[in-house]
Each structure stands twice: as structure tokens, then as C-alpha cells.
Amino acid sequence: MALVELAVMIGILMSLVSLLFVGVRAWKHGVDRADCVSNIRNVQLAVRGYANTNDLEPGADLAAASPPVDLGAELFGVAGMMDRRPDCPGEGVYTLGGDIVPPLGTLYMTCSESEGRGHFPADAADW
């Protein structure tokens, strides 16, 4: 009888541990999503800051300016608005919006995981 009780207790403990692993994995995906959305927001703020500093209107094409401006190079780096280009904390890859200042409510940087794991802000209308 004691061996049967011991086996049942081990089975119950193994089930609880497996539930714990599922919960930790879900928590990790949630943290990755929050970090990714935060990165997208910070880059959006950097784009808006650069546009305001240089008196650029939304929709301005910097590649057609004289001289042409590489917006990505202006945003990231030692002299840029951000120290470095962020990396997605999940498995996604960020794509920049080119050399055009995005209109209000349009994101400059998107994540490849926006469809799969929801690495996309719920509301970016005021960004």
C-alpha cells in the first residue's frame, strides 16, 4: 500500500511541476511581448524627437532631401537619438520604416513576431 501511495504522490508532484513550467513559459512570452512593445515605443519616440528637432513634417521623405538623410543612421548610434538599435527579446526581427517620417499613428519600426506572438502595441493612434 505504501508504494502505491508514494507513486500517486510522485505523480501529483510531477503534474504540479509540469504546470509550473507551462506558467513560466507563458510568463516569459508575456515579458518578451512587453519588452518588444516598449522597444517599438522608444524608437517611435526617437523618430518623433528627431522630426521635431529638425522641423520635419510627418510624411517627409528624407532620402529626397538635399543632402539625403539616412534616418536609421540618425536615430541609432553615439550621436543619434538612441545609443543602439534594439533587438527583439523574443525571436523576432525588427524592420525599420525607411527614410520617411511616419504619419501620426503609423509605426516606424515593426516586429516580425507581431502576428505570431502579438509583438504589436494594442493602440498606437497617438504615437
Query: Rounded CA gap, 40 and 75, in Å?
Result: 13
pLDDT at 12: 93
pTM, whole model, 2 decimals?
A: 0.80
Query: Exposed, middle or buried, 124 (CB in 10 Å: 0-12/13-18/19+)?
Result: middle
pLDDT at 40: 94
Give residue limits of the domains in the chain. 2-114
Q: Return per-residue pLDDT of the chain as tens, 127 residues.
A: 788 899 999 999 999 998 888 888 888 888 999 999 999 999 999 999 999 999 999 988 998 888 898 998 999 988 889 999 999 998 889 999 999 999 988 999 999 987 777 788 878 777 7
- Return the bridge partners of 110, or none: 95
pLDDT at 93: 93
